[in-house]
Amino acid sequence: MEETMQNSNGIAENIKQVEDNIRSACKRAGKAPGEVTLIAVSKTKPLPMLEEAYRHGCRHFGENKVQELIDKYERMPKDIKWHMIGHLQRNKVKYIVDKAYLIHSVDSIRLAEEISKEAVKKNVISHILVEVNIAGEETKFGTSKDDAERLVREISLMPSIQVEGLMTIAPYVENPETNRQYFAGLRQLSVDIKRKNIDNVNMNVLSMGMTGDYEIAVEEGASCVRVGTGIFGERHYKTV
């Protein structure tokens, strides 16, 4: 996977490389490249790097912290679609419900209820994905595979919140092929739920695949991939 870890290159080259890789994966999977949305995961990265990605065509950005998403939302061009991809605390929902284009990380009834309540107040529709812990890892957020349909059904009854599909964070692995089974599993789960024709539920979005494994995710049916390191380079977290 060396070609997906272009940390020494510039952002422009990285984006081009990732887009090429997505195109090739689409071709292998027999789908049109336009069917996959690249989300540039810009968490921890400073504005000039986001601006460079924007200049090179990125319009979807992913953040995992509410405050950081709001700060960047205020400062960046208004045609950007902001994706909330990180664990979301209920007391922070009110700050982003009218700013996030898609919330990827809904994994409980109580969180969904809070999103619904705040969306009603602000008179918006909140578009969300149900996060599924498809590999059953103890350390991960996300609903279990078995509970996903029940959660989708309950959310479908709430006002001003719209289920658009499923999201998963696959395990961190050396060999990305290991995650193929999980991507295929999430895809199958979304097909199974779609077949139930639940009112008010779309299963059109499958958010899966990160820098290490997005090509495999696309081959297995991802409709959006979340790539951070592969575009912006390694992240350096401040230690407090």
Ligand X SMILES: *Cc1c(COP(=O)(O)O)cnc(C)c1O
Among 26, 38, 50, 210, binds ligand X (CB under 6 A): 210
Rule CB under 6 A: say whether 64 interacts with ligand X.
yes
Minimum CB separation of residue 197 from ligand X in Å reads 29
What string of DSSP letters covers 51-109?
A: HHHHHTT--EEEES-HHHHHHHHHHS-TTPEEEE-S---GGGHHHHTTTEEEEEEE-SH
CB nearer to ligand X: give 187 or 226. Answer: 226
CB closer to ligand X out of 185 and 230: 230
Q: Rounded to the nearest whole angstrom, what is the least distance from the CB of residue 97 to ligand X in the complex?
A: 19
Query: Which C-beta is closer to ligand X: that of 221 or that of 228?
Result: 228
Give me the residues paired with residue 225 across strands.
Answer: 38
Non-local CB neighbours of 66 within 8 Å, separated by 6+ positions? 84, 88, 89, 92, 95, 96
Of the pair 86, 185, the CB lying nearest ligand X is at 86
**Is 44 among the residues that bind ligand X (CB under 6 A)?**
no
Site for ligand X in 70-99 (CB under 6 A): 85-86
Min CB(213)–ligand X separation in Å? 9
Q: Can residue 229 be called a binding residue for ligand X (CB under 6 A)?
A: yes
Task: Point out which span in 120-128, 137-145, 174-182, 220-228 binds ligand X (CB under 6 A).
Answer: 220-228
Question: Of these, 11, 37, 43, 118, which contacts ligand X (CB under 6 A)?
Answer: 43
- Binding of ligand X at residue 221 (CB under 6 A)? no
Gap between the Cα atoms of 15 and 238, Å rounded: 25
- For ligand X, the binding residues in 179-208 under the rule CB under 6 A are none
* Joined tokens for residue 66: 């509410």
Nearest residue to 181 (alpha-carbon basis) of 130, 208, 222, 220: 220
Number of residues that bind ligand X (CB under 6 A): 14
Q: What is the full DSSP assignment across 162-225?
A: EEEEEE--PPP-SSGGGGHHHHHHHHHHHHHHHHT--TTEEEEEEE---TTTHHHHHHTT-SEE
Nearest residue to ligand X, by Cβ distance, number only: 228
**Which of the residues 151 through 180 are near ligand X (CB under 6 A)?**
169
Contact between 228 and ligand X by CB under 6 A: the answer reads yes
Is 163 within 8 Å of 156 (Cβ atoms)? yes
CB burial readout 138-149, b (16+ within 10 A) else e: eebebbebeebb
Name the minimum Å distance from CB 209 to ligand X. 8
Residue pair 34/62 in contact (Cβ under 8 Å)? The answer is no
Return residues touching ligand X (CB under 6 A): 41, 43, 64, 85-86, 169, 210-212, 226-230
